[in-house]
Amino acid sequence: MIQANAGSRVAVVGAGVIGMTTALALQQRGLSVTVLDSQGPGEGTSSGNAGFLAIESIDPLSTPAMLRQAPRLWLDPHGAVALPFRYLPRLLPWLARFIAAARPAQVTQGRQALAALNESAVAAWRRCLAGIGAEEELVASGYLLVWESDRGRAEAKRHMAHLQHWGVEVEWLEAEEIRAREPGLSGRLSHGLLFPGAHQVRDPLVLVRRLAQAFEARGGEIRQARVERLIPTPSGVTLATDEGELAFAQVVVAAGAWSHHLARGVGLEVPLETERGYHLTLPGRGTALRRPVGSAERRCVMTPMTCGLRVVGFTELGGLSLSPIKRRYASLRRHTARLLAEASGLDASTEWMGFRPTLPDSLPVIDTHPDSANIHFAFGHQHLGLTQAAITAELVTALVAGERPALDMAPYRVNRFHGRRPA
């Protein structure tokens, strides 16, 4: 058994983008920080995302409009929403909460809480990257959302008006303007929306690795270990790991789609599901587009990265243990071939599937345990974990430091669904 003096040491469980931004923010406060992960930094979900700071995504996933569309998306063999039948019985309680979250009052509250995080997201990323001299990882790329069918005009107009109402900068583009700005796209487009203020990162895995390198260069420790359980103690918290027990003054659980297991061990039931998402990366095609491009109808995003052109898609509510469903990659290939003017590189593309951690109300958990002041949580960022990582890190660091965070934290409470489990 390893028994260190807890002192002022803080542990972060999870070396994804949330865990590493948090570890750096804690370190900058002069705390001695250890990150624990069973994999290398960024090798979980944070490695394979679309690399896009989706600050215009302010709508919760569960809305009346989404529920109306869901059956059509589910039944379409190339549709963006998938519920594997084998998993459906386990999913039902979560699904019931998800449907309940579409109540208009809750959607409005959720939108406000997502917008509050997204509004602060880019500035927080700038502070984080400036702190380690890695500003070039964030690119002011803009974002383009396109429609192939003219029938989508009314939907695009509504979407534009909705986002403008919420203060998002957005421009309307006709097909010829899209072609001028994005010659890499196919000519079969009708119209689009341009978000000129949007940002992307150059490569999400490289980004997390740079955060990890800077953290270690400043004396931070990264241990490859699986945390089995958190044990509150009078002086802090002990982590039971596959390497033995480790004592700390405080811990932040940032274990992405696995975080609810650790929360359950300290008496908190958190209804976290995984939205499995898939990607293809086309090596050598990193200049095929000038900025991230989303397809409103196909619900996929293509992002030019240093590692190639990445195409991501699908929301598959399938838990943590099912194998990837191979035909999703074929669907992504099909979408890519239709959207790009020149679709070379598809045969050589690499395939990946990862787990978006999602709560029924689409909001993350950023909170301190209601009964154990030394245990904190930062997880559940669904499609927005990259976007919201740096601001989450600042907020949870304020909680660890016993300060008042810059935002109202009530919407992100850990016990907002169930409260505590009976002992």
Other CB atoms within a 10 A radius of the CB of residue 74 amount to 14
CB of 360 to ligand FAD, least distance (A): 16
- Residue closer to ligand FAD by CB (options 189, 378) is 378
335 touches ligand FAD (CB under 6 A): no
Q: Which of 98, 248, 379, 412 binds ligand FAD (CB under 6 A)?
A: 379
Distance (Å, rounded) from C-alpha 13 to C-alpha 20? 10
Smallest separation, CB 190 to ligand FAD (Å): 24
User: Given the complex with ligand FAD, which of 17 and 185 has the nearer CB atom?
Assistant: 17
- Kindly state the DSSP code that residue 58 receives in the 8-state scheme: -
Residues of this chain, 25-44, that bind ligand FAD according to CB under 6 A:
36-39, 43-44
Task: Give me the helices (H) in 78-152, please.
Answer: 88-100, 104-131
Q: Does 286 interact with ligand FAD (rule: CB under 6 A)?
A: no
Contact status: 308 vs ligand FAD (CB under 6 A): no
| Tokens matching residue 172 | 């309307």
> Is residue 205 a contact point for ligand FAD (CB under 6 A)?
no
Tell the smallest beta-carbon distance from residue 151 to ligand FAD (Å): 27
Q: Which of 27, 34, 46, 362 binds ligand FAD (CB under 6 A)?
A: 46
Does residue 294 interact with ligand FAD by CB under 6 A?
Answer: no
Query: 345-348 long-range CB contacts below 8 Å, 24 or more apart?
Result: 345/282, 345/283, 345/284, 345/285, 345/288, 345/308, 345/309, 346/280, 346/282, 348/282, 348/283, 348/284
The residue among 175 and 382 lying less far from ligand FAD, judged by its C-beta, is 382
- Please identify, using beta-carbon distances, which residue of 357 and 411 lies nearer to ligand FAD: 357
Render the burial of 49-63: b for 16+ CB within 10 Å, e for the rest. Answer: bbbbbbbbbbbbbbb
Cβ-contact 80, 313 below 8 angstroms: yes
Stretch that binds ligand FAD, among 46-54, 84-92, 133-141, 150-158 (CB under 6 A): 46-54
Q: Of these, 385, 391, 396, 398, which contacts ligand FAD (CB under 6 A)?
A: 385
Task: Count residues binding ligand FAD (CB under 6 A).
Answer: 41
Q: Is residue 45 involved in binding ligand FAD (CB under 6 A)? A: yes
Indicate whether 354 belongs to the interface with ligand FAD (CB under 6 A). Answer: yes
Least distance to ligand FAD from the beta carbon of 56, Å? Answer: 11
Q: Do β-strands 138-139 and 199-201 pair in parallel, antiparallel, or remain unpaired? A: antiparallel
Instruction: Please tell me whether residue 254 binds ligand FAD under the rule CB under 6 A.
Output: yes
Candidate residues 50, 311, 390, 398; the one interacting with ligand FAD per rule CB under 6 A: 50
Q: How far is the CB of 121 from ligand FAD (least distance, A)?
A: 8
What's the CA gap between 83 and 223, in Å, rounded?
Answer: 36
Alpha helix positions (H), 202-290 = 204-217, 259-265
Alpha-carbon span 89 to 86, nearest angstrom? 7
CA angle 387, 391, 393 (to 5 degrees): 110
Task: Look up residue 121 and give its two tokens.
Answer: 């997201």
Here the tokens at position 141 are 């790329």
In the complex, the smallest distance separating the C-beta of residue 392 from ligand FAD, rounded to whole angstroms, is 9
Going by the DSSP 8-state scheme, the letter that residue 404 receives in this structure is P
Contact 170/193 with Cβ under 8 angstroms?
A: yes
Distance of closest approach, residue 16 Cβ to ligand FAD, in angstroms? 2
Stretch touching ligand FAD by CB under 6 A, among 76-84, 211-219, 283-291, 352-360: 352-360
Q: 232-268 burial, b if ≥16 CB within 10 A, otherwise e? A: beeebbbbbbeeeebbbbbbbbbbbbbbbbbbeebbb
- Cβ 77 to ligand FAD, closest distance in Å? 19
Q: Which chain residues interact with ligand FAD by CB under 6 A?
A: 13-19, 36-39, 43-46, 48-52, 54, 226-227, 254-258, 277, 279, 312, 354, 356-357, 379, 381, 383-387
